[in-house]
Amino acid sequence: MSFTLPELPYSYDALNPFMSRETLEYHHDKHHQAYVTNGNNLLKGTEFEGKTLEEIVKGSYGKNAGLFNNAGQHFNHIHFWKWMKPNGGGAIPGELEKKIVEDLGSVEKMKEDFIQAGVTQFGSGWNWLAVKDGKIVVMKTPNGENPLVHGATPILGCDVWEHSYYIDYRNRRPDYLKAFVDSLVNWEYVAELYSKAV
């Protein structure tokens, strides 16, 4: 399958004031488009042609760095746009909330640990909630890596590459992460991925 850039599920202004039109135009139209274009070029003539995106990500990890980086980032961003919504944050659907409390202590503790994972990811990367061995865990990964290549299924991720926040927050990564958790997360989509993962 070839990679295609998905439409944003909201307008470019929809996430103001937490994520600006300018950030979304650069991040979606330029950065994500580049992963799609480069990924398609690097996919040609490899054993991964015709495979699903998830299979490409898992199969190219540790074997084809260029393809993995672009396929991984394409996978991450397809979900990243859906992990946010206008008037996000707020209440977490019941089953998911129950599991978060069970596995991570409390919703507040989960938010703190998730933010801390993003703050302490050195350089570019992502912080995650993922399902591993039936439990929800907090993870962080460098560059375009994601929990798929570490035996886990991602259910929420935040992009901590500088292009994701520098226009709006400059070097204040903790402020960006707090805004993401408190005001942008689409918990219904997280719950949907959680129910598929279990």
SS3 assignment, position 1: coil
Residues annotated in a binding site:
27, 77, 159, 163
130 assigned to some structural domain: yes
Q: Are residues 139 and 45 in the same domain?
A: no
CA distance 113 to 110: 5
Residues annotated in a binding site for Mn(2+):
27, 77, 159, 163
Q: Are residues 73 and 121 in the same domain?
A: no
CA distance 20 to 11: 11
| Domain with 68 in it | 21-83
Six-digit token string for 29: 């139209």
CATH number, residue 53: 1.10.287.990
CA distance 189 to 187: 5
CA distance 57 to 147: 11
Q: Which of 41, 56, 83 is the last residue of a domain?
A: 83
* Number of domains into which the chain is organized: 2
Q: Which of 83, 109, 129 is the last residue of a domain?
A: 83
CATH number, residue 139: 3.55.40.20
Q: Are residues 98 and 71 in the same domain?
A: no
pLDDT digits (tens, 9 = 90+) for 95-113: 999 999 999 999 999 999 9
Given this model, what pLDDT does residue 105 score? 98
Amino acid identity of residue 166, one-letter, is Y
SS3 assignment, position 15: coil
Given this model, what pLDDT does residue 58 score? 98
pLDDT digits (tens, 9 = 90+) for 50-95: 999 999 999 999 999 999 999 999 999 999 999 999 999 999 999 9
Residue 186 pLDDT > 80 = yes
Q: Are residues 79 and 100 in the same domain?
A: no
